[in-house]
Amino acid sequence: MPFDLIIFDCDGVLVDSEVISCRVHAEVLTRHGYPITAEQVFARFLGRSALAANREVEAELGRPLPDDFDAQLKAALFDEFAVSLQAVPHVAEALAAIAAPVCVASSGTPDKIRTSLTLTCLLPRLAPHIFSATQVAHGKPAPDLFLFAAAQMGAAPSRCLVIEDSVPGITAARAAGMTAFGFSGGSHCRDGHTEALIAAGAQASFDDMRQLPEMIRKFVPTPLRAR
């Protein structure tokens, strides 16, 4: 194996949640006096932490969001997840075929990650190795979360592979000195998504999870310089 650890993002990589998340996020923000579309949420906040998104919105509003904003967003999102959240197609097969240790490193909160993985029956394969941006000082595109996950798993960054669907996630992986594969098979991905991930530093790209185990086995890592 060319890698000692495979680090998966959650939303858009393990679970096909981004379309749902962007729509609900837009609805809740609009209800609180910040009109925004799901497409705009996708373009601005995909792959970033809720804290970073809230700070940006509050700076533009010139006032804080309600104290219970995160709770409102979480409740609306979990209601939608319970009805329609699905795993990314074939991801369970891919996880079963990967021999290296795996973990999750997501911008989501711990309860959001666990709820998503529970609803899609992926939690047993990945628990307890689940890490959230709430555990580090700076979320993606900073490298903190991936470096934290690697340290917790006892892996050198240069021996880690990150599977990401967002530009901030690819940027964070490269900044951590890790190899990054860009995944563009989620329902939120549109024309140009693969090219954006490659431009951000992904060393390979794919759109079908059935491709991943063989890509890992055949990949020959080259020395990386953090971007």
The torsion angle over the Cα atoms of residues 84, 85, 88 and 92, rounded to 10 degrees, is -110
Answer yes or no: is pLDDT of 4 > 80. Answer: yes
Give residue-wise pLDDT tens across range 118-165. Answer: 999 999 999 999 999 999 999 999 999 999 999 999 999 999 999 999
CATH of domain 5-16+86-218: 3.40.50.1000
| Residue extent(s) of CATH 1.10.150.240 domains in the chain | 18-84
Angle ∠(103,191,225) on CA atoms, nearest 5: 50
pLDDT computed for residue 188 by the predictor: 87
Instruction: Give phi and psi for 2, each to the nearest 5.
Output: -75, -10
Give residue-wise pLDDT tens across range 5-23. Answer: 999 999 999 999 989 999 9
Three-state DSSP state, 65: coil
User: How confident is residue 225, by pLDDT bands cut at 50, 70 and 90?
Assistant: low
Give residue-wise pLDDT tens across range 67-111. Answer: 999 999 999 999 999 999 999 999 999 999 999 999 999 999 999
What CATH class is the domain 18-84? Answer: mainly alpha
CB atoms under 10 Å from CB of 77, counted, come to 22
Which two structure tokens, joined as six digits, stand for 144? 């903190």
| Residue extent(s) of CATH 3.40.50.1000 domains in the chain | 5-16+86-218
C-alpha 39/C-alpha 62 separation (Å) is 23
The whole model's pTM is what? 0.85
Q: What is the residue type of 11?
A: D
pLDDT computed for residue 222 by the predictor: 65
Give residue-wise pLDDT tens across range 190-208. Answer: 889 999 999 999 999 999 9
User: How confident is residue 224, by pLDDT bands cut at 50, 70 and 90?
Assistant: low
